[in-house]
Amino acid sequence: MRFGFHISMSGGFSKILDRATIRGCETIQFFSRNPRGWKYGSLDHDEVEIFRRSIQSSSISPLFLHLPYLPNVASKESKFYNRSIDSIVIDLERAAQLGAHYLIIHIGHRMDSSEDEAIEAVAWAINQVFDRVKNPVTLLLENTSGQGTEIGYEFNQIKKIIERVEQRDRIGICLDIAHAFEAGYDLSKKDGIEKTLESFDKTIGMKRLHLLHLNDSKTLLGSRKDRHWHIGEGHIGLEGFRHLINHPLLKHLPGIMETPRKDTVEDLKNMKVIKSLVE
pTM: 0.97
Domains in the chain, CATH or no CATH each: 2-276 (3.20.20.150)
Residues 6+ away with beta carbon under 8 Å from 13: 47, 48, 50, 51, 98
pLDDT of residue 67: 98
| Whole-number pLDDT of residue 113 | 96
Report long-range pairs for 232-235 (Cβ below 8 Å, ≥24 apart). Answer: 232/273, 234/178, 235/181, 235/188
Number of Cβ within 10 Å of residue 100's Cβ equals: 25
Instruction: State residue 81's pLDDT score.
Output: 98
pLDDT of residue 39: 87
**Amino acid at the residue 101:** H
Residues classed as catalytic: 36, 66, 69, 106, 142, 176, 179, 213, 226, 228, 258
Which residues of the chain fall below pLDDT 50? none
